[in-house]
Amino acid sequence: MKKERFEGKIAIVTGGGTGIGAAIAKQLADEGATVVVMGRRLEKLEETAASTEGTVVPMVGDVACEDDIKRVIKDTMDKFGRIDLLANAAGIGAIGAHMENLPLEQSRKIFEVNFWGTYIFCHETLPIMQKQGYGSIVNIASIDGMMGYDGEADYAASKAAVISISKCLATENGANGVRINAIAPGWIDTPMLDRAITSYAAAGIQVTKETLRNGSMKRPGKPEEIAAGACYLLSDDASYVNGHTLVIDGAKTLS
């Protein structure tokens, strides 16, 4: 384990049991941070903790539940007394269809997790960081929120909202010593991608990981490649980067 950029920092990572969230949590812990990982399944959070020699503290909760968010923040403050870093990585996708065919219940759930959970976490964490005079937040969005793909009205809109709120919060908090940035990944090889492929198959659309080749790279991305970008933005190496949306998509948006 190398202890460098995040020595002594306290971080919260949502969606920390799988995929991008787990990769971010592992790298933060490997580089010295104490990382609270939030997710719905304790066994997955414990797997993240076991993947690093660093300090990872599992806290079970659902980002779609406001009370769970407030409890995790309170428990983190009670235990460690500060929150330096926040990575909002929890997210869900759904079956692709034109808007008129999307179940409203599905769309509401997507916004609750992808946008509202991020919004509430920022809402509750920013006063803490403002008081400290220091903090860095990274919100995981998607290139879907920038491009407008067929059949993804609810998912794309939820991620566009994440990009927008990140920019707004950056303009509001830069003078407070708090930076807020976003990341827009392309197709990333995670359990969420596996579920998306299954959902497309149920809708009669045959998609495989081989057909989801991101731009010039001709492969899906790896969670660790998103984590590297997230940890850069969270770190003091990016001390003058604020309000930015970092696209990590293997040039998919150029194809």
Q: What is the 3-state secondary structure (H, E, C) of 83-150?
A: CCEEEECCCCCCCCECHHHCCHHHHHHHHHHHHHHHHHHHHHHHHHHHHHCCEEEEEECCCHHHHCCC
* Domain extent listing, the chain: 10-254
**The predicted structure's pLDDT at residue 88:** 99
**Amino acid residing at 98:** H
Tens of pLDDT, residue by residue, the chain (255 residues): 566 899 999 999 999 999 999 999 999 999 999 999 999 999 999 999 999 999 999 999 999 999 999 999 999 999 999 999 999 999 998 767 888 988 899 999 999 999 999 999 999 999 999 999 999 999 999 999 999 877 789 999 999 999 999 999 999 999 999 999 999 999 888 767 666 666 666 656 666 666 665 566 778 889 999 999 999 999 999 999 999 999 999 888 887
Please state, as a whole number, how many other Cβ atoms lie within 10 Å of the Cβ of residue 88.
Answer: 29
Catalytic annotation on 155?
A: yes
Phi, psi of 182 (to 5 degrees): -130, 160
Q: Hey, what are 20's tokens?
A: 């991008």
- pLDDT of 217 reads 75
pLDDT at residue 97, as a whole number: 80
Instruction: Report the CATH fold assignment for 10-254.
Output: Rossmann fold (3.40.50)
How far is it, in rounded angstroms, from Cα 46 to Cα 59? 10
What is the rounded CA–CA span in Å between residue 255 and residue 250? Answer: 10
User: Do 86 and 120 contact (CB within 8 A), yes or no?
Assistant: no
Catalytic residue among 119, 155, 200, 240: 155
* Separation CA 89–CA 16 (nearest Å): 7
Chain position carrying tokens 């596996």: 194
Contact 103, 53 (CB under 8 A): no
* Amino acid, res. 218: K
Query: What is the predicted pLDDT for the residue at 66?
Result: 98
The sign of the CA dihedral 15, 21, 27, 31 is negative
What's the first-to-final CA gap in the chain, in angstroms? 38
Q: Which residues pair with 221 in a beta bridge?
A: 188
Comparing CA positions, the residue from 246, 225, 111 lying closest to residue 179 is: 246
